[in-house]
Amino acid sequence: GGSGGTSIINLEDQVLSGAFQIPNTFPCGTLLRVVNNTGTNNLAVTLPSASDFDSGYYITVNIYRGASGSYDSVNTIILYPKSGDTLFDGAIASLSMQQYWGVTCVSDGSSNWIFVNKGRT
């Protein structure tokens, strides 16, 4: 797999205009913690190209819900592969994640993201 320590990156959809492209500069093991709190729209998150990384590189996307009142309405996060890539050997086109979900995506080093962990966090 990749090298480097885990870093946590927090995203709030009100600054993302409903879409976010994960850059290929995130180190292996990054936890992308999405705070989705506008109360009106789903948030589209697109993975970087799997071929930008060695086989075994992984990133975790987590839906976070805070305790304050501003986080009362948490919408769906839809996880997409970058154009030309597939998710789960092409079996699915996207993954709809609900509140408290987390998914770990592992690159196969070519054009596929494999989910090794998916479920509630």
- Please say if the pLDDT value at position 1 is more than 50: no
Position 23 scores a pLDDT of 87
Could you read off the pLDDT of 6-33 as tens digits, one per residue? 566 766 544 455 678 888 888 888 888 7
Return the sign of the alpha-carbon dihedral for residues 85, 18, 98, 63.
positive
Residue 65's alpha-carbon distances to 15, 28, 90, in angstroms, are 17, 24, 30
pTM of the model: 0.76
Structure tokens given for 23: 């850059």
Report which of 41, 63, 45 is spatially closest to residue 113, judged by C-alpha positions: 45
Could you read off the pLDDT of 27-83 as tens digits, one per residue? 888 888 776 555 566 778 899 999 999 999 999 888 775 555 444 455 677 889 999
Position 106 scores a pLDDT of 93
Position 101 scores a pLDDT of 80
Average pLDDT score over residue span 77-96? 83
For the chain, the DSSP string reads: ---S---EEEEEGGGTTTEEEPPTTSPTTEEEEEE--SSS--EEEEPPPGGGS-TT-EEEEEEE--SSGGGS----EEEEPPTT-EEGGGTBS-EEE-TTEEEEEEE-SSSEEEEEEEEE-
